[in-house]
Structure 1
Amino acid sequence: MARVHVIGAGLAGLSAAVELSGGWQVSLYEAAPQAGGRCRSYFDSALGMTIDNGNHLLLSGNHAALAYANKIGGADKLAGPDEAAFDFCDLARNRRWTLRPNAGKLPWWILVPDRRVPNTAGLDYLALVKLLFAKPDQLLRPFLGTGGIARDLWDPLFVSALNTDPAEASAALAGAIVRETFAEGGAACRPLVAVEGLSAAFVDPALEFLRNRGADVRFGAKLRAIQFAEGRATALDFGEDIVTLAEEDRVVLAVTAPVATALLPGLTAPDEFRAIVNAHFAYPAPKSLPLLTGVIGGASEWLFGFSDRLSVTISAAERFLATPREELAATVWAEVQAVAGFSAPLPAWQIIKEKRATFAATPQQDALRPGVETQWRNVFLAGDWTRTSLPATIEGAIRSGRRAAAAVDVTLSTGF
């Protein structure tokens, strides 16, 4: 039987391996000592608890991610409100509101004042419709404008989704998000959070799933080079171990864009990246605090209220990379208290700065994203940086893995 060698155990690689493990022999290689890539949990000694290396949010319209979670048995680790609801707190103006899209596709919610952003009208939401027709070379800011609704809603939503400032972000990628969520109605917009950690929902069940199906999973296996001959990959060089590829073997390269371009001569891929900063505090969320709160008018952007900690995410966070960690922790903690409505000394904290968290979701970088196939007939690509039509999200990563697996299936089934 053919063997498929999946390089990289982030969500893209795990997704590909899970899809392929039902019909082919699978070997999964990961350079790090653990799986998950940028979407994983770890025990943090400073906090004395397990946290995620970055906070991530799913929406109920993320069908590939939810299908993956269901398949591996991790879906029960996701939690959220029964209906689409996004709580916001404006620190500068001391006001709060909840955005509540209705479940159906007909968006009557924009006509109901207590379901939309205060001091906005239904016509203000037409930006979503216009984004559906955005062209690949168009920037996002002209669609959103610079008025109150941009500040209070569009910027927080799209900066977090694209991890790129709207002034330089791709309108087409933003439109893809709208097409699969808001355009489908509130039933596709319900927020979901991995309340027991990202690994519990997306990583650990996948590894168990693969091992139960006979997959060979290897950690600490860094691919150093790929050998090529006659239009195909012939061997994988892991340093002390070289894996020779049989004619029928296939390779799914599910690594980061910089690693992929180093391994595959001539590969074009995104080469600009944007940062994300996450702040974690060992302080249980007050019972009155929603699981997720958008923060307006501060450094913080989204506050996650977990049972054992409070966590904040800041996207497109280049402006904070040079800020001392202690200073940033104090600033964010003050904002957390204001949003959550309590006063307490700064608890144990952790600041995680990911300088190259995602590719820059600009029109120029989007145009550099490669498809699944490569110039080598037995090598396929997966990763949120490949051409998924989405920005770098969990949904995009898992979708890329599924597409790579489908391409492998075709070539193995047809013999090409």
Structure 2
Amino acid sequence: MPTTGLARPPARVHVIGAGLAGLSAAVALTDRGVPVVVSEAARQAGGRCRSFHDGVLDMVIDNGNHLVLSGNTAVHRYLRAIGAEGRLTGPDRAEFHFFDLQLGERWTLRPSDGALPWWILDPERRVPGTRPRDYLALLTLLRRHPGRRIDEVIRCDGTLWDKFLRPVLLSALNTAPEEASADLAGAIVRETFAKGGRHIRPLVATPSLAAAFVDPALSRLERGGADIRFGRPLRAMRIDGDKVLGLTFDDGEETLAPQDRVILSVPPWIARTLLPGISAPDAFHAIVNAHFRIVPPTEAVAMVGLIGGTAEWVFAFHDRFSVTVSAADRLIDRETETLALLLWRDVAIVHGLTGPVPPHRIVKERRATFSATPAQASQRPSVRTAWTNLFLAGDWVDTGLPATIEGALRSGEAAASLAFGTGMAGR
């Protein structure tokens, strides 16, 4: 049975996994003076939000294009805590550029700053061909719809759906929106569009994901005395009754002291092997990213959403174009050169480019996020577990949000709060 808040601060907390959820938990605990041991199976931190030097392109690239929004409160708390507040860049006001590849039509969505959505009355600021009453769909999504799909609560057709709602929800949920959870979609709307343009400015990590989210966190942890160990996968947990008593790594077992606690921040399929019987999502969708080494034209906008192509979002950096395709299961097994040709063709059309495909790198994440359907959302576990000294973190636990950076960081905060013994966590 779930337990109440623990009475005394821990002697030590083992954080298993150094993705963003694990880093968030470790930073929060270190800031409270709690001794922390971070064990990561890989040779680097960051999980799916990682950066690396690519030998083909001879440049540092991110595994994917991870967009955050100005209203993501956990993102800003985390960046302040690690001293990286200036590592996100984006427009001064909310604006989203789109290009219809079939019609050759461009437009820019420009929400007004405040919560009152007067922008939908201005044809120059809303999606071309839409009417103000079309946007009532957003009001419908604001309400709670437990266990229902998006296509059960709003119409999934028409200009607004095709040219705005579908591409935005697809990227946020990484699931075909028609079959995705209406509650998860509603969480996005409530925390962003319902609060106005000041909360939905698109922001990207600069100069890289690692530079914004990972490296400053590791530095903060090292300054705080955290013990960080890479190449250290957890193989088993020794459990007796309602407590974890020991952790078995490749380099041996660590016996836990009575006040030690554990935050398990690993992918759900690993959590299920370590804790048989635990509830966790078991269906996933892929994301495909492509990076092209070519200097974008000076007039290229930072981010463009595409309608009717293979590519879905095109990002222009100072030294490359990057492309993201969500729910990309259909593409995951395509040959690299075929994918590069398909995706570059879309980039070239949008930006008026000619010539051969530039040097490129295709990055595939086969199990990028859990499938954001009502059925899979119902399998997300709480941060709190049936074991009094064990807590879960990750974008797949029940944060109320889809599998996003914001959700991952919130889960880490919640796990740290419970592990510390305050009981001041959300879900």
Query: 1 CA distance for matches of 2:203 and 2:313?
Result: 14
Partner residue in 2 for 1:175: 186
Alignment of 1:21 onto 2:37: no
| 2:368 matches 1:353 | no
1:7 to 16, 36, 41: 16
Q: How does 1:70-219 map to 2 (within 5 A)?
A: 70-142=80-152, 143-219=154-230
Q: CA deviation at 1:343?
A: 1.5
In structure 1, how many angstroms separate the alpha carbons of the residues matched to 2:383 and 2:28?
Answer: 15
> Does the aligned pair in 1 maintain the 2:286–2:326 contact within 8 Å?
yes
Worse-matched range after superposition: 85-94 or 144-153: 144-153
* CA–CA distance in structure 2, aligned partners of residues 140 and 38 of structure 1: 27
- Deviating above 4 A after TM superposition, structure 1's stretches of 4 or more consecutive aligned residues are none
Provide the rounded CA distance (Å) in 2 between the counterparts of 1:285 and 1:181. Answer: 30
Shift of 1:328: 1.0
Corresponding residue for residue 315 of structure 1: 326
Contact 1:57 1:193 in 2 (8 A): yes
1:46 paired residue number:
56
SS of 2:130 mapped into structure 1: coil
Q: What is the identity percentage for the equivalent residue pairs of Structure 1 and Structure 2?
A: 54
Contact 1:29 1:219 in 2 (8 A): yes
Aligned partners of 1:20 and 1:405 also within 8 Å: yes
Distance of 2:155 and 2:63 partners within structure 1: 31
Displacement of 1:412 after TM fit? 9.4
SS in 2 for 1:313: strand
Is the contact between residue 248 and residue 412 of structure 1 (CA under 8 Å) also seen in structure 2? Answer: no
- For 1:222-268, what per-residue CA distance to the aligned partner results, in whole angstroms no more than 9, with x for missing partners? 00000012321111100232111000000000000011111113211
Instruction: Classify the secondary structure of the residue corresponding to 2:177.
Output: coil
Question: Residue type of the partner of 2:23?
Answer: L
Q: Which residue type is aligned with residue 12 of structure 2?
A: R
CA distance in 1, matches of 2:186, 2:210: 30
Contact 2:302/2:315 (<8 A) preserved: yes
The letter of the residue matching 2:183 is: A
One-letter amino acid matched to 1:141 = D
| Partner of residue 413 from structure 2, selected from 372, 383, 402 | 402
Aligned to 2:79: 69
**In 2, distance between residues paired with 1:266 and 1:124?**
45
Contact persistence 2:417–2:423 (CA under 8 A): no
Q: Does residue 270 of structure 1 match 2:281?
A: yes
After TM superposition, the structure 1 stretch with the greater mean CA deviation from structure 2, 44-53 or 175-184, is: 44-53
State the number of aligned residues: 413
User: Displacement, 1:75?
Assistant: 2.2
Aligned-partner SS, 1:141: helix
The correspondence for 2:395, drawn from 384, 409, 413, is 384
Q: CA deviation at 1:195?
A: 2.9
CA distance in 2 between counterparts of 1:405 and 1:144 reads: 40
**TM-score, length of structure 2 as denominator length:** 0.95
1:282 and 2:293 aligned: yes
Q: Displacement of 1:132 after TM fit? A: 1.1
Q: Is the 8 A contact 1:77 1:196 kept in 2?
A: yes
Q: Aligned equivalents of 2:225 and 2:374: distance in 1? A: 42
Matched, 1:238 2:249: yes
How far residue 411 of structure 1 moved from its aligned partner, in angstroms, is 5.9
Secondary structure of the structure 2 residue equivalent to 1:113: coil
**Corresponding residue of 2:3:** none
C-alpha deviation, 1:76, in angstroms = 1.0
Structure 1 gap ranges (5+): none
Letter in 2 for 1:50: V
Superposition CA RMSD, Å: 1.2
2:235 aligns with 224
Output the CA distance in 1 between the equivalents of 2:296 and 2:209.
Answer: 18
Q: Secondary structure at the match of 2:124?
A: helix
Change (3 A) 1:98 1:63: same
- Equivalents in 2 of 1:262, 1:230: separation in Å? 18
Deviation at residue 141 of structure 1 after TM alignment:
2.5
Normalised by the size of structure 1, how large is the TM-score?
0.97
Counterpart of 2:119 in 1: which secondary structure?
A: helix
Choose which of 353, 356, 380 in structure 2 pairs with 1:369: 380
Deviations 1:171-206 (A, max 9, x none): 110000000000001110000001311000000000
Distance 2:27 2:146 in 1: 32
One-letter amino acid of the structure 2 residue matched with residue 243 of structure 1: E
Shift of 1:408: 1.0
Q: How far is 1:145 from its partner?
A: 2.1
Shift in CA distance, 55/175, structure 1 to aligned 2, threshold 3 Å: same
Structure 2: stretches of 5+ with no match in the other structure? 1-9
Structure 2 contact 315–322 (Cα < 8 Å) conserved: yes
Is the contact between residue 195 and residue 306 of structure 1 (CA under 8 Å) also seen in structure 2? no
Paired with 2:313 and 2:410, the residues of 1 have a C-alpha distance of 25
Q: Secondary structure at the match of 1:221?
A: coil
Q: Partners in 2 of 1:411 and 1:67 — Cα distance? A: 19
Q: Tell me, in whole angstroms, the C-alpha distance in 2 between the residues paired with 1:204 and 1:123.
A: 46
2:4 matched residue in structure 1: none
- Structure 1 residues 118 and 324, CA, compared in 2 at 3 Å: closer, same or farther? same
Partner of 2:335: 324
